[in-house]
Amino acid sequence: MSDLLWQLGAMETAELISKKDVSAREVIENHLERLTEVNPKINAITRSLNDAAMEMAILADEIISRNEQIGPLHGVPVTIKDNVDIIGQSSPNGLSKLKDKLAPANSPVVDNLLKAGAIPIGRTNTPEFSLRWHTGNPLFGDTINPWDKNITPGGSSGGAAASLAAGIGCIAHGNDLGGSLRYPAYCCGLTTIKPTQGTVPAFNPTAGEDRPPMMQLLSTQGPITRSINDARLAFNAMSRSDRRDPWWTPGFVQKQEKAGSTKIALAMETPGAPLADEVRQSLHNAGKILEAAGYIVEEISPPKIARCAEVWAGLIGTELRSVLRKAMDELGSSQISAALDFLESFHKECALPDYIRLGMERTQLMREWSVFLQEYEVIIGPVSNIRPFAPNEDIQTKERAKEIFSAHNLLVAVNLLGIPAATVCTGLQDDRPYGVQLIGWKYNEHLCLDLAQMIEDHVGRVAPIDPKIF
């Protein structure tokens, strides 16, 4: 069994360790062996943390032997995205010029995982500044989707998703400003919960200054996992308070025991790029599963999805150009410059009065969605309107970049509104995974996860896999 421990999820692994059926050392050794075996094929891990991980595993076993109290993730291997700080390590975020800048302390999300007993075994790849739909950079190269080298693993947490899909670690840390948890999970056949803004604390000790206001308000930290149960477990661990994040707010994940008369909106028609047949089938199947479980499922889309995406782009685009673009040009490569140029070409920088008005409009849009989600407690919608595209297709032409952005209108709308969304795999079509997202109002992570669990129970899990690299 010990040579197959990498196939188990976080909950199963933690239970085996707590019962002393396996040691933390055995688990970590097996995952590090898996990392060594498959990472050269997918380039998802930028650095293996072998020595530190083994030391932590030995200590974890000593704690077990003394029958001391342990955390819910005791001995569980996790990966940490390359854009949050681990003490004594760099967090280059895909940038060659930051590869030697060492962190003086851990990011809060890292501290929370450690407090829960998790053991980091590697750092995962991300595009420069974590601002692309595909994961690749000049420092570490492109990450390969283990399902198919001809499609992107997603971005910006593509390294996190690809490594987890290939059996490296049980939980992958990621973050989400415009879909960076949900899109990689979609591309790689995984699950995630994009939490309500502020429920998982965020801060990087290496940061010279805080991010612009909307980047703070629209971004969240969260887990990518291979099962909904693991997503629930990881989110609970990640969401502990940390006073370094003044935006932190408590969130609760509880199971709903019965369907009752809960109404669900099935968003079969979303603006932007036309729905691919595979996406439409995924939505249809998810709706049927929940309808059979006793929920009232109606085909209706939430209000003003396209406008939400436009407001997101206007706010983020303005902050990028007016506050960050100069530094990004100095630190980044032609890849990220192309991505930023494309974004700016169809969402121009706003003057200050217009930027303020967009912030005001955001409140109005939140109000409309709040009312909608009072009647329809959850929305089933696409993660992406299109099939996963080819690697680096997002920076080839302005026209294609705009098309890709429009395919993710609902994805970025969720970020604008600061609300939670779970992503769950709906199975394979043509040997590629597809999925949907389940969107709720603030602090309704529990309901999103409960419904996603029903879909997963019906469909089953598709990962981990051996990389299909031909």
Under 8 Å between Cβ of 10 and 170: yes
Nearest 5°: phi and psi at 29?
-60, -45
- Residue 408, token pair as written in the block: 């993710």
For residue 260, the model assigns a pLDDT of 58
130, 157, 163, 180: the active-site residue: 180
Q: What is the pLDDT along the chain (470 residues), one digit of tens a residue?
A: 578 999 999 999 999 999 999 999 999 999 999 999 999 999 999 999 999 999 999 999 999 999 999 999 999 999 999 999 999 999 999 999 999 999 999 999 999 999 999 999 999 999 999 999 999 999 999 999 999 999 999 999 999 999 999 999 999 999 999 999 999 999 999 999 999 999 999 999 999 899 999 999 999 999 999 999 999 999 999 999 999 999 999 876 455 555 557 899 999 999 999 999 999 999 999 999 999 999 999 999 999 999 999 999 999 999 999 999 999 999 999 999 999 898 888 777 789 999 999 999 999 999 999 999 999 999 999 999 999 999 999 999 999 999 999 999 999 999 999 999 999 999 999 999 999 999 999 999 999 999 999 999 999 999 999 999 76
User: Rounded to whole angstroms, how far apart are CA atoms 114 and 460?
Assistant: 30
CA dihedral over 433, 306, 159, 390, signed as positive or negative: positive
Among 107, 130, 156, 227, the one annotated catalytic:
156
Contact 410/307 with Cβ under 8 angstroms? Answer: no
pLDDT number for residue 188: 98
For residues 224 and 245, give the distance between their C-alpha atoms in angstroms, rounded to a whole number: 22
Q: Is 322 assigned a catalytic role?
A: no
CATH class of the domain defined by 2-459: alpha beta
Contacts of 226 (CB under 8 A, 6+ apart): 9, 164, 165, 170, 190, 191, 461, 463, 464
Is residue 194 among the annotated active site residues? no
pLDDT of residue 253: 45
Backbone angles phi, psi at 279, to 5 degrees: -70, -45
Q: How far apart are CA 446 and CA 216, in angstroms?
A: 23
81 catalytic per annotation: yes
SS3 of the chain: the string is: CHHHHHHCCHHHHHHHHHCCCCCHHHHHHHHHHHHHHHHHHHCCEEEECHHHHHHHHHHHHHHHHCCCCCCCCCCCEEEEECCCCCECCECCCCCHHHCCCEECCCCHHHHHHHHCCCEEEEEECCCHHHCCCCCEECCCEECCCCCCCCCCCCCCCHHHHHHHHCCCCCEEEEEECCCCCHHHHHHHCCEEEECCCCCCCCCCCCCCCCCCHHHHHHCEEEEEECCHHHHHHHHHHHCCCCCCCCCCCCCCCCCCCCCCCCEEEECCCCCCCCCCHHHHHHHHHHHHHHHHCCCEEEECCCCCHHHHHHHHHHHHHHHHHHHHHHHHHHHCCHHHHHHHHHHHHHCCCCCHHHHHHHHHHHHHHHHHHHHHHHHCCEEEEECCCCCCCCCCHHHCCHHHHHHHHHCCHHHHHHHHHCCCEEEEEEEEECCEEEEEEEEECCCCHHHHHHHHHHHHHHHCCCCCCCCCCC
